[in-house]
Amino acid sequence: MGGVDKAQVEVGGRRLIDYFELHLHRAVPGCAAVAVSPHGVKWSHPVTCENPAFGGPVAGIAAGYQLLAKNPVLDTVAVLAVDAPHSPLLLPALAQRLHASPQASVSVIRDDTGRLQPLCALWRRQSLSHALRALGEPRNKPVKALFDHATAVAEVHSPGTGWLRDYDTREDLEDFKPGV
């Protein structure tokens, strides 16, 4: 969207991050969450940023993980993108698949085109920690590189609900459905 902070983009009087949070708490009530944003987005959970800013998604994941890892009871960590504001609704399916696959490090959505969506994944805490350490410097690394350090990946096929849809352009927002 031309360098615009997608979290702050409004559709129907709400920001994308507000829709994201609504769906997050609908799918996993009371969960711990953190936003990673170089723009200092305001919401009801902690916000952090990779240092230096704009280091790419893995650097953002590492920064968010550092903040969440302070929670000693945290067993899993979801990696989701705010420009896919309905994606938190996929967390129950990801959790069910991860629970059914004790050998898996992560469960991840495979979309309708057959591609894995690494920004719609649920990691075991220790597995994500291991993958981040094994990857080394996270700046400008692709998210898929984390999966190279997973012992096994459990896949969830997209249910075709539209919940995985991301909104990358203003034109995409014309198709946004808040109540999905």
Burial class of 103 by CB neighbour count within 10 A (0 to 12, 13 to 18, 19+): exposed
Query: Token pair for residue 117?
Result: 């969506």
Ranges of each domain in the chain = 6-173
104: number of Cβ within 10 Å: 21
Quick one: DSSP state of residue 38? T
pLDDT in tens, the chain (180 residues): 567 788 888 898 899 999 999 999 999 988 889 999 888 788 888 899 898 888 899 999 999 999 988 887 889 999 999 999 999 999 999 999 999 999 999 999 999 899 999 999 999 999 999 999 999 999 999 999 999 999 999 999 988 888 999 888 888 888 888 776
CATH C-level class of 6-173? alpha beta
* Strands 76-80 and 35-36, bridge-based pairing: unpaired
Global confidence as pTM: 0.93
